[in-house]
Amino acid sequence: MDVIPAIDFREGKVVNLRQGKLNQTTTYSDDPMGMADHWVAQGADRIHLVDLDGAFNGVPFNHSIISSIARNHPSLMIQLGGGIRSAEIIESYLRAGVDYLIIGTKAVDEPDFVSEMCKLFPGHIYIGLDGMNGLVATRGWTEVTKIPVKSLAQRFEADGIGAIVYTDIEKDGMMQGINFEATKDLATSVSVPIIASGGVTDIDDIELLLQSDSPIAGVIVGRALYEGTLNLQQALAMTRTLQA
């Protein structure tokens, strides 16, 4: 299981949103590149980037920052979400050095788009499913649909997606522990890798995910790292020791 530091961008700054709400934003840095450098120095070999401006506006806003991170760290695996809504955007980011593009709102609005992108860019397409009480939320979590997370995950399973990034909105940024049961339930429902997100607080959450009988491919960690309740080096050491 990969422990994946998150860097969320808004207006060129590194931020965290509680439950995806703009009015509950904490700014951690005005140097996104320096933050990426920091997590790499701490041992991260994969990083999760979110263009929050892109998520809320539907078009990329932080392409230059993201491209610079990819260029400065060519061996770093980068997964990116936020405003990924066209083949042109995907191609642009892949050329810039991003490894995986996470389709969220567009996947819900136009499911066939996912199948088309998987054919055009095999191995590079992830789906981001954000859940609120088991239902899919879209457009930067501002709208909650009537579609169950599990059924949509199963819908995309046959399209050849590389992984599903599952975020529990109620837990996200709250540092109240990950929604283990919901994450585990989703992992047992599909064969594609599940990357957990939302609510990680400390090393106990990492240990809990590692003990799941339904393998979790990775876990994205944001606020806990920035607030210091989770040490990245310790978390990486735990996962790598158990996997050795």
Q: What residues are labeled active site?
A: 8, 130
Q: How far is CA 238 from CA 3, 76, 78, 226, in A?
A: 10, 20, 22, 19
SS (H, E, C) the chain: CEEEEEEEEECCEEEEEHHHCHHHEEEEECCHHHHHHHHHHCCCCEEEEEEHHHHHHCCCCCHHHHHHHHHHCCCCEEEEECCCCCHHHHHHHHHHCCCEEEECHHHHHCHHHHHHHHHHCCCCEEEEEEEECCEEEECCCCEEEEEEHHHHHHHHHCCCCCEEEEEECCCCCCCCCCCHHHHHHHHHHCCCCEEEECCCCCHHHHHHHHCCCCCCCEEEECHHHHHCCCCHHHHHHHHHHHHC
User: Inter-axis angle of helices 149-157 and 180-189, to 10 degrees?
Assistant: 30
